[in-house]
Structure 1
């Protein structure tokens, strides 16, 4: 029975979509999620006070930090393992079990810590604890689902699950806003969590229908250890990429003021809509680099061009329509954050270079180098933004852009050197 199951999942994705199709499908899915997420924050901004919005953004950032920690590189490990020809069912069973347990442990740890250190942030309610736990677990599972479906040739399936999840979250927030003005942060977090749960359920159904996989999570050490050995270096690299954007709203909310986080987060969230293009295309670049190492150079340059084209288009739209878009949240958001959004959108180019560099480092096994670069850059980004916080969101974003550009210039030079070395090896 086990052999039949593993064969079925291995053979299912015979109609494998192209790297470009998977890349654009992932980008479209994230665009749908971001659009619905923006609509969610518009409703939230009109449904309650700036303080509650700031506390909600801090909670969402904390959830996302937990998911990035809890994934333990399992998604990247799935890409590597499946690319090497290992049975997908066995790999996925171990990956989902590991990240499910890790998500619960990390979410509980954060909740206990926050309740002890910052009891005045609304984290003591049962609703907050329950929704935070569910959001952390489902969010972690979705990350693995995304990368598993990329590895199996169905990255474009992200469009449906993110569109449905985002629509549900927006709809729930709209109902709350309609029923009662002045919603608390835990109620808004519950609406956001509902959308994440729907995306996770839809992803599980897609994995079953597209590749015939039925989840049977297993914590057997013989399966888990190899997966963790593969995944942890990738996890450290991913954390170096994502941590600055996730940590900064938390630092602002608890070190400066919740209102500072409320004004920064919409600008960052919309800029991230453009940044997701190089991020997701980089995942596909990494997957293709593992499957076909001989095409790494051509795949890298093609991926970078598409990252700049797709992400650049989104960035231009954000620069032009920054004020009108932020006005949908309220005029105070537009006045405080439109300049920040324009500076952050301009960061698309250096961010795309960094993602191309990181994808090549993943494919070539240059983990230590990329992690050192990422940690150094991440600390510099947060420090520079916090140092400018007293001058407003625009000054923070400008400081962020300057530091990001310097880091990308150094990474870009290193990227060219690595690809030249790869070309020489091929000769």
Structure 2
């Protein structure tokens, strides 16, 4: 049975471990960790995927509380504009991070004594680049997104740039923790981030700060970075370097990173540009309705994404099991996803009613469509991760380009006709159109790999 190093060492040490002052606390923590370890599957692929999925669900659950408070403490226009600004920030952060999150997941497990150097270099490059693209975006706001003109204010503009750079590192630290098999720590840092957001949001509401949503997001990011990187650099990285002193440089490392980054830009554009299309086409109120539906529906996409990250980490260690792991993720994630889709489709009106009657009235159909789109997205996501592990980077890029073009093109066509519902229809149609050929010709991508994937 796979278990973390801390759990195994604590179990060997027994209840008497530790000094009299701290032994009781350590025994209690050990008991909790051991209990959680027994509840989770023993297979590393599924165990780590479950923990990452739990982290996403916790983050989404507390994040929903954040938006619940935001919709009650701020008017719909402020919510719509703030979410659109955050969507832009997330897009810029994903441009700036050069897809080094997936790069770290793929290569950090085999980086050995170069782990810290690779991680810090990734932080520096991605933070600098994301800050630069954020500055350019703020300068071009009057042309690209006139409704976000409030970002031209010096203080808010600086906050926006800093939040974009900070979110880049936030994403990379999650990738590093995943690669080093510390998914439980991802849960902890997401809880810190979510709790800090809510506290800062309340402070902004008390002070009647219209930009309180954006400011609270930025402040919470810095709190999370301090906590997570202290644990990462003081414990996880040194432990990994001690246990894996040898490392080999994989061939064509830069070409892999460049191709993976190119594909990720199109994938993230599909995820983050639709709220801006809704804002520009239909206005702030309808942007708020779609944005909240997307926040809830995207949880299902994240569950699959997390299982895929676990798939890549395990395939690096056991490349001969790529097909077995791919099929395992498809079956296991499909079962979880079907249950989640059922809950959201049935409960959409009541879930959205928590945020106000306007959301339940206007966003129910969109949320149901986004939930259904998560089902074909399972096949798309697993295919991308399998092909990434096999270094079939042309197909990795091609699939993500196809999804982006279909989502944005269909949204642009359908929003004027169907209103905000058109964005949900666009997502469902796009995912089905991409998944259909993957299902029909699955034998062409889900095949055994030859040789090492490291």
Band of TM-score, shorter chain: 0.7 to 0.9
Q: Which residue of 2 aligns with 1:25?
A: 51
Q: Contact 2:260/2:396 (CA < 8 Å) preserved in 1? A: no
The worse-fitting range, judged by mean Cα deviation, of 267-276 and 194-203 is: 194-203
Query: Displacement of 1:74 after TM fit?
Result: 1.8
Count matched residues: 403
1:169 equivalent to 2:197? Answer yes
1:88-142 Cα distance to aligned partner (Å, 9 max, x none): 1221121111112112111111111115655553112233212212211111112
TM-align CA RMSD: 2.8
Secondary structure, in 3 states, of the residue corresponding to 1:347?
A: helix
CA change 1:145–1:44 in 2 (3 A) is same
1:213 and 1:96 map into 2 onto residues whose CA distance is 17
Question: What does residue 130 of structure 1 align with?
Answer: 158
TM-score normalized by the length of structure 2: 0.82
Answering whether residue 115 of structure 2 is matched by residue 111 of structure 1, we say: no
384, 407, 410: which is aligned to 1:381? 407
User: Structure 1's 302 and 421: CA in aligned 2 closer, same or farther, altered over 3 A?
Assistant: closer
Matches within 5 A, 1:27-426: 27-86=53-112, 87-115=114-142, 118=145, 121=148, 122-180=150-208, 183-184=209-210, 186-213=211-238, 228-390=254-416, 391-420=418-447, 422=449
**2-structure distance, mates of 1:356, 1:256:** 34
Q: Which blocks of at least 5 consecutive residues in structure 2 are unaligned? A: 10-41, 240-248
Q: CA deviation at 1:316?
A: 2.1
More deviation, 110-119/277-286? 110-119
The Cα shift of 1:17 comes to 8.8
Deviation of 1:365 (Å):
0.9
Partners of 1:66 and 1:37 lie apart in 2 by 21
Tell me how far apart the structure 1 counterparts of residues 71 and 312 of structure 2 sit (CA, whole Å): 38
Q: Distance in 1 between matches of 2:184 and 2:439?
A: 28
Q: Which runs of 4+ in 1 moved over 6 A?
A: 11-17
CA distance in 2, matches of 1:360, 1:79: 14
Distance in 2 between the 1:120 and 1:269 partners?
21
The 3-state SS of whatever aligns with 2:445 is helix
Calculate the TM-score normalised by the size of structure 1. Answer: 0.87
Q: Which moved more, 1:40-49 or 1:346-355?
A: 40-49
Deviation of 1:175 (Å): 3.4
SS of structure 2 residue aligned to 1:329: coil
Q: 1:378 to 1:202 in 2, by over 3 A?
A: same
Distance in 2 (CA, whole Å) between partners of 1:84 and 1:40 is 38
SS at match of 2:140: helix
Task: Determine the C-alpha separation between the residues in 2 that align with 1:227 and 1:34.
Answer: 34
- Asked if the contact 2:92–2:134 (Cα under 8 Å) also holds between the matched residues in 1, the reply is yes
Task: Please identify, of 286-295 and 158-167, the stretch whose mean Cα deviation from structure 2 is larger.
Answer: 286-295
Q: How far, CA to CA, are the matches of 1:21 and 1:210 in structure 2?
A: 21
Say whether the 8 Å CA contact 2:326–2:386 is kept in structure 1.
yes
Matches of 1:283 and 1:212, distance apart in 2: 19
Segment drifting more, 356-365 vs 97-106: 97-106
How far does the alpha carbon of each residue in 1:330-380 deviate from its partner, in whole angstroms, 9 at most, with x for none? 101110001111111111211111110000110011111221221122111
Instruction: State the distance in 1 between where 2:145 and 2:92 align.
Output: 17
Equivalent-residue separation in structure 2 for 1:198 and 1:255 (angstroms):
36
Q: CA deviation at 1:232?
A: 2.2
1:230, 1:269 → 2: CA distance? 31
Question: Does the 8 Å contact 1:43/1:177 carry over to 2?
Answer: no
The 3 A distance-change label for structure 1 pair 362 and 14 is: farther
Q: Which has the larger radius of gyration?
A: 2
Answer whether contact 2:322 2:448 (CA < 8 A) is retained. no
The residue matched to 1:123 in structure 2 has which SS?
A: helix
